[in-house]
Amino acid sequence: MDNPIEEYLQLVTLVREHVVEQLEFGLSEIEIKESEPQTKLADVDLATLDADAKSCTKCGLHEGRTNVVFGVGNPNAELMFVGEAPGADEDLQGEPFVGRAGKLLTKIIEDGMKLKRDDVYIANVLKCRPPGNRNPVPDEVETCSPYLIRQIELIKPKVMVALGSFAAKTLLNTTTNISALRGQLHPFTLSDNFEKPPRVMPTYHPAYLLRNPNAKRDVWEDIKIVLEYLSTD
Quick check: pTM over 0.85?
Answer: no
109 falls within a domain:
yes
38 falls within a domain:
no
CA-based Rg of the chain, rounded to a whole angstrom?
A: 23
125 falls within a domain:
yes
26/89 Cα distance (integer angstroms) = 43
The CATH number covering residue 92 comes to 3.40.470.10
| Closest CA relative to residue 66, chosen from 86, 92, 48, 42 | 92
Domain range for 204: 44-230
34 falls within a domain:
no
83/212 Cα distance (integer angstroms) = 18
φ, ψ for residue 199 (rounded to 5)?
A: -100, 150
- Eight-class DSSP state of 171: H
Count how many domains the chain has: 1
69 falls within a domain:
yes
Q: Is residue 166 within 8 Å of 135, Cβ to Cβ?
A: yes
Q: Is 35 exposed, middle or buried (0-12, 13-18, 19+ CB in 10 A)?
A: exposed
149 falls within a domain:
yes
In tens digits, what is the pLDDT along the chain, a chain of 233 residues? 455 445 544 554 554 554 444 444 443 333 333 334 455 787 899 999 999 999 999 999 999 999 999 999 999 999 999 999 999 999 999 999 999 999 999 999 999 999 999 999 999 999 999 999 898 999 999 999 999 999 999 999 999 999 999 999 999 999 999 999 999 999 999 999 999 999 999 999 999 999 999 999 999 999 999 999 999 97
217 falls within a domain:
yes
